[in-house]
Amino acid sequence: MENLQLPPKPEKSLFKKIRAIFITLLVIAMYVWTFVGIDIDWGRAIERSISNFHRVVPKLFSPDWAAAGDVGLAMLETVFIAFAGSLMAAVLAVPLSFLAAQNMMGGKVVSTIGKWILSAIRAFPDLILAILFVVAVGPNAFAGVLAIAIGSTGMLGKMFSEIIESIDMDVVQAMEANGANKIQILFYGVIPQITPEFLSYAIYRFEVDIRASSILGIVGAGGIGTMIVFASSNRNWNEMGMILLAIIIVVTVIDFASARIRRKIV
């Protein structure tokens, strides 16, 4: 073993060395520029957080139990928004994902268009969508549902199309070879292969949407976010503590449950 002699590593060319140094310097310059550019008054920031610390943080840890009922209802609404939104997204994403999957569309042209549609949808942040839908359908939970639905469709559509592209096409060929038509192949060869993964990603997306929908209320799209805005503008930190507690509990429970369900499915 001690005589092990690996062949020498290939020498890096001068160009590669210079490029590495250049990139390092560029990254450092960018960091310096951003910190100088945003003009943080470190002294003031630290001073303020020290003076506010004892007024805010202890109150967050003594939640206002009297508000538990209202907070609970708002949290429930948040969960409903996330559920309705991700369910809508899971349904909408299916046709789009088939459109974007190269092995289902026979050629690159259609699937590229499908992928473009999905990218375009993904380009909108949830909050921007929420603002648009609050304007369109008014400041209520329905705006939140639509924002979550559209926002999730982009991501789920992309995931679903990747799942479709990774199926075993030999099975599809075997069915072609025994005279099945396209629709029969879809139901016998494709759908059994994709269903568990589709469900798994839809549930995972629901998990993400719980978090996303808890802030939608900030722009008036329903759910617990509305209470966050009121509590912070009234400086009611005890209520804020209650809200945070509710979010933490619900998110943890749903993460845990979804992980267990998904392990069962796949």
Partner 1 sequence: MIEFKDVGLVYPNGTEGLKNINVKINEGEFVVIVGLSGAGKSTFIRSINRLVTPTSGSLLVDGEDILNYHSGNLRKLRTKVGMIFQNYNLVKRSNVFKNVLAGRLGHTGTLRSILNLYSKEDKSLAYESLNRVNIAEKLYNRADELSGGQQQRVSIARVLTQKPKYILADEPVASLDPPTSHQVMTYLKKINKEDKITTIVNLHFIDMAMEYADRIIGMRAGEVVFDGPASEVTEKTFEEIYGRSIREDDLRGGADES
Positions touching partner 1 (CB under 8 A) are 168, 170-171, 173-181, 183-184, 187-189, 192-193, 195-196
Longest CA pairwise span in the chain (Å): 77
Q: 98: closest CA among 89, 109, 88, 110? A: 110
Task: Kindly state the smallest distance separating residue 160's Cβ from partner 1, in Å.
Answer: 17
Residue 259 CB, shortest distance to partner 1, in Å, is: 21
CA distance 227 to 212: 15
The least CB distance from residue 169 to partner 1, in Å, is 10
Query: What is the rounded distance in angstroms from the CA atom of residue 139 to the CA atom of residue 134?
Result: 5
Q: Give whole-number Cα distances, 203 to 82, 200, 254, 260, 265, in Å.
A: 11, 5, 10, 11, 11
Q: Which is nearer to partner 1, 74 or 94 (CB)?
A: 94
CB-nearer residue toward partner 1: 180 or 251: 180
Decide whether 47 or 168 has the Cβ nearer to partner 1: 168
* E strand or H helix that includes residue 208: helix 191-216
User: Helix, strand or coil for residue 226?
Assistant: helix
Q: How far apart are CB 175 and partner 1 at their closest, in Å?
A: 6
Looking at the Cβ atoms of 194 and 216, the one nearer to partner 1 is 194
